Amino acid sequence: MKEAGLLLRDAELDGAGRADVRVTGDGVTEIGHRLPRRPGEQVVECRGGALLPGLCDHHLHLHALAARRRSVPCGPPQVTDHAGLAAALRDAAPDEHGWIRGTGYVESVAGDLGAADLDRLQPHRPVRVQHRSGALWMLNSRAVAAAGLATATHPGIERDPRGDPTGRLWRADDWLRTRLPPSRPLPLDEVARELARFGITAVTDATPDLDPAALDAFDRAVAGGALPQRLHLLGVPLGATATGPRVSTGPYKIVIADSSLPGLDDLSDRIRAAHGKGRPIAAHCVTREALLLLLAALDQAGPAFKGDRVEHAALVPSETIGDIARRGLRVVTQPGFIADRGDDYLRDIPAEDHRDLYRYGSLRAAGVPVGLSSDAPYGPLDPWQVMSAAVHRRARSGTTAGPAERVTALTALHAYLTPPEDPGGRIRKVAIGAPADLVLLHTPLAEALRRPSVSLVRTVLIEGRPVSPTPPRPG
């Protein structure tokens, strides 16, 4: 059926003038005043509500988001202490293979967890609990046995002095999956609807080293319509390319694991290999040491390469800001972490480093493009909450972390309006010829920016089609 199109009447554009916007097919075809309604065209009275390009979340993990929906929360805000964790694991519904999967664990709940600790909480079923950072899995004894950790050789398997696995497994997501009962990639339709409800019409999936099954699952989710959002992939292996009309291959994700830093030569070889294939890199970098190593490895790998990005840049010493700018690097940051777990950072990180946390304002001032993102499910997904966090940088306790790094709500919104291939760069506009990936707000922009909130989102279009809104999940 040919779509008759949509006439968005009296929308506010660019936070300034008002106009009518015509959407035909999948694009914006006309902008003007008092545009005549065409036969069959649906009219939306915007009443001066802001019409924005759809938001792009520049770093998240779609399949982990889908898995999170089927998992037991093991960390704040749902679970905050040992008794809460015990209840959560005791009452958890196992999956079809009898496993219990927990997520979001952090040491403030019940300290460092190993197999013996988890056995006391849930001895009857295999249990695996993921750390909030995503870098660590903790397995009980049944899970350790089922995954065959005792005889396996993965370097991430933590062992006690006798050589027995402790149940703690670092940076071994893909490997662990191969040791678990086979599972089909989870459907993405619910996640896609939640993204749409927030106004997100494009995402960058930052999961490293996507295997053929994961790539295939993405292709099918996009082609079959389960995932209407545009999809930019950082985990496409070197030499491969993503296929499909709305799927693109992004920079090549390199994880500089803080649990075991790579050697300088190894890292610069990997960077050179990516650049040699025409791919910029996207380096996961959360410690000062990782950042210094990355900068040295980039220098060794060759001249600046357009599009190289630093993911997280959680700790940026002031003396490195100039280097980041000189190298033409861009940063994809997550101020949502400050709102979500800022108190933990402020407690665990030396006071003199607090100003280095998730820098934003100082990077921009130095000319570094900064893209915004959630890192969901590890950080809060709601982009409006992330924008607020960029503006206020307040932890749950009310303490402000790095007040000098605050930016305006407009700057934060603009970071979400930059396209997947240019995070923090060009700001997309509602314009003739642009794809009709649009977000209509209930209010004018100035009002929305005073108190960014998902409740302001009225209608979301992807390729000219309204995407069915579902209420965001609480929490």
Residues at the contact surface with Zn ion, assessed by CB under 5 A: 206, 375
Please, which residue, 356 or 375, has the CB nearer to Zn ion? 375
Please, which residue, 285 or 439, has the CB nearer to Zn ion? 285
Give least dist CB 133 to Zn ion, A.
9
Please, which residue, 3 or 173, has the CB nearer to Zn ion? 173
Alpha-carbon distance 118 to 99, whole Å?
A: 13
Check if the beta carbon of residue 420 is closer than 8 Å to that of residue 230.
yes
Please, which residue, 340 or 375, has the CB nearer to Zn ion? 375
Cα–Cα distances (Å) from 178 to 98, 130, 172, 175, 253, in that order, read: 17, 16, 10, 5, 21
Give least dist CB 376 to Zn ion, A.
9
Give least dist CB 207 to Zn ion, A.
7
Check if the beta carbon of residue 372 is closer than 8 Å to that of residue 385.
no
User: Which backbone phi and psi does 167 adopt, to 5 degrees?
Assistant: 95, -5
Give least dist CB 128 to Zn ion, A.
19
Give least dist CB 109 to Zn ion, A.
21
Give least dist CB 233 to Zn ion, A.
13
Give least dist CB 284 to Zn ion, A.
7
Please, which residue, 147 or 357, has the CB nearer to Zn ion? 357
Q: What is Dmax (Cα atoms) for the chain?
A: 79
Give least dist CB 270 to Zn ion, A.
18
Give least dist CB 379 to Zn ion, A.
8
Please, which residue, 166 or 373, has the CB nearer to Zn ion? 373
Give least dist CB 19 to Zn ion, A.
38
Give least dist CB 84 to Zn ion, A.
26
Please, which residue, 53 or 251, has the CB nearer to Zn ion? 251
Report the candidate in 381, 446, 370, 447 with the shortest Cα–Cα distance to residue 405: 370
Please, which residue, 314 or 438, has the CB nearer to Zn ion? 314
Please, which residue, 52 or 206, has the CB nearer to Zn ion? 206
Please, which residue, 89 or 338, has the CB nearer to Zn ion? 338
Here the tokens at position 170 are 């670092």
Which residues are CB-neighbours of 130 under 8 A, at least 6 positions away? Answer: 71, 74, 101, 102, 103, 104, 105, 136, 137, 138
Please, which residue, 7 or 316, has the CB nearer to Zn ion? 316
- What is the 3-class SS of the chain, one letter each residue? CCCCCEEEEEEECCCCCEEEEEEECCEEEEEECCCCCCCCCEEEECCCCEEEECEEEEEECHHHHHHHCCCEECCCCCCCCHHHHHHHHHHCCCCCCCCEEEEEECHHHHCCCCHHHHHHHCCCCCEEEEECCCCEEEECHHHHHHHCHHHCCCCCEEECCCCCEEEEEECCHHHHHHHCCCCCCCCCHHHHHHHHHCCEEEEEECCCCCCHHHHHHHHHHHHCCCCCCEEEECCCCCCCCCCCCCEEECCEEEECCCCCCCCHHHHHHHHHHHHHCCCCEEEEECCHHHHHHHHHHHHHHCCCCCCCEEEECCECCHHHHHHHHHCCCEEEECCHHHHHHHHHHHHHCCHHHHHHECCCHHHHHCCCCEEECCCCCCCCCCHHHHHHHHHHCECCCCCECCHHHCCCHHHHHHHHHCCCCCCCCCCCCCCCCCECCEEEECCCHHHHHHCCCHHHEEEEEECCEECCCCCCCCC
Give least dist CB 206 to Zn ion, A.
4
Please, which residue, 99 or 218, has the CB nearer to Zn ion? 218
